Amino acid sequence: MKFVHIADMHLDSAFSNLSDKDIMGDLRRLEQRKVFKKIIEYIKQNDIEYLFISGDLYEHKYIKQSTIEYINNLFKEIPETKIFIAAGNHDPKVKNSYYNKFNWNSNVKIFDSFIEKVEEPDCNIYGYSFDEFYCNNSGIEDFIVEQNGKPNILVIHGNLDGTKKDDKPYNPISKKVLLEKGFDYVALGHIHKPDYENKKIVYPGSTVSLGFDELGKHGMIVGELGGDLKLEFVPLDDEEFTVRELNVDNLGSKEELIEKINSLDINPNEYVEIILTGGRNFEIDKYDILKYIQNDRIIKIKNETKIARNLEKIANESTLRGLFVKEMLEKLKNEEDLEKKDIIEKAVEIGLDALE
């Protein structure tokens, strides 16, 4: 039997913190749709018998009915493929979810909030869906897996070897327990990094990268069961998120910084976050800088620089700027709120620039 295993697609995600450019959310949502179509085309071209979707297919808070219809219409294109969906913490099978109120195509099975078994001619498929945004116990530890000579597959969303003491539990599952149950393949979702090599308990990772905390390739697992388990990771996301650090120690002005960023060699399939480091000799406003960046693949700037001036030395000067810095350092010393500290530091820069 041949299968495709995906998870954590998060269709219609808001992408609110992805970029300093407003258009990026729309671009990534379009990419999500494009990638989902790629999955369906792959299934058609390779006669894939099963599609396992292990949670977080969409964002419950933001999903549009038109997107659900788009998904279901693609499912209709693969009527011979049996589709098994286990809802996760971002798309739980709550009362008003589309998993409950939408009329899905006949080849789609959405699991309930208890361990269910579906017996197919060539395998047994078990599954469990979140019915709330958190889950402390799916009941898998007490479940007995029937051994009838067919491969046993579990489709579930959860945190492998997580703890039930977490403030926000996402179905903690013991790897040891899963192995003892005798599953031949566990199609997991929740962790956005692929984890599949030499394993039968598998995270495919997020199908499309959701941002700069998800670097590297993203795609799906293609597997075959019948004797030995064969797995292959197939990349799907044409875009890759990368991070570049840029030290500003030797830069003396905003203009120099803009020139330095514009000289960077960026691949056409990369989305880049620039992290500014080192000691700054001038005020840096990342939104102002971004307006002058010529390469639209640079979509985010993070400023982690510190003031390069010796403020303690300046504070000892018998000058107006010395008195100003002395007073501001006293404010910094007494302020505990990190955001307010940043504001004070920025005020020191602006004040010093004005006094020089």
pLDDT recorded at residue 341: 86
pLDDT recorded at residue 176: 92
pLDDT recorded at residue 147: 86
Mean pLDDT for the chain? Answer: 93
This prediction has a pTM of 0.87
How do strand 270-277 and strand 108-110 relate by DSSP bridges?
unpaired
What residue has token string 């330095």?
A: 260
pLDDT recorded at residue 264: 96
Query: d(Cα 180, Cα 147) in Å, to the nearest integer?
Result: 12
pLDDT recorded at residue 165: 66
Give one DSSP letter per residue of 155-218, joined into a string: EEE-EET--TTSSS-B-EE-HHHHHHHT-SEEEEES-SS-B-TT-SEEB---SS--STTS-S--
Question: What CATH number labels 2-235?
Answer: 3.60.21.10
* pLDDT tens-digit series, residues 90-123: 999 999 999 999 999 999 999 999 999 999 999 9
Ramachandran class of 163: left when φ > 0, alpha when ψ lies in -120 to 50, beta otherwise:
beta
pLDDT recorded at residue 161: 87
pLDDT recorded at residue 356: 72
- What residue ranges in the chain does DSSP mark as E strands? 2-6, 50-53, 82-85, 108-110, 116-120, 123-127, 152-157, 159-160, 172-173, 185-189, 201-202, 219-224, 230-235, 240-247, 270-277, 279-280, 298-303, 306-307
pLDDT recorded at residue 163: 66
- Taking alpha carbons only, the member of 203, 209, 189, 220 closest to residue 37 is 220
CB count within 10 Å of CB 262 equals: 12
Any idea where the domains of the chain sit in the sequence?
2-235, 240-355
- Taking 70 as the pLDDT cut, the residues of the chain under it are 163-165, 167
Rg for the chain, CA atoms, rounded: 26
- Taking alpha carbons only, the member of 184, 179, 142, 145 closest to residue 160 is 179
pLDDT recorded at residue 198: 82
Instruction: Count each helix (H run) and each strand (E run) in the chain, helices first.
Output: 9, 18
Query: d(Cα 21, Cα 296) in Å, to the nearest integer?
Result: 9
CB count within 10 Å of CB 133 equals: 15
pLDDT recorded at residue 164: 66
Backbone phi, psi, residue 135, to 5°: -145, 125
Structure tokens that stand for 19 in this block:
């970029």
pLDDT recorded at residue 260: 97
* pLDDT tens-digit series, residues 123-178: 999 999 999 999 999 999 889 998 888 999 999 999 998 766 676 899 999 999 99
The DSSP call for residue 284 is: -
pLDDT recorded at residue 227: 79
Query: d(Cα 306, Cα 303) in Å, to the nearest integer?
Result: 9
Query: d(Cα 286, Cα 148) in Å, to the nearest integer?
Result: 62
SS3 of residue 288 by DSSP: helix
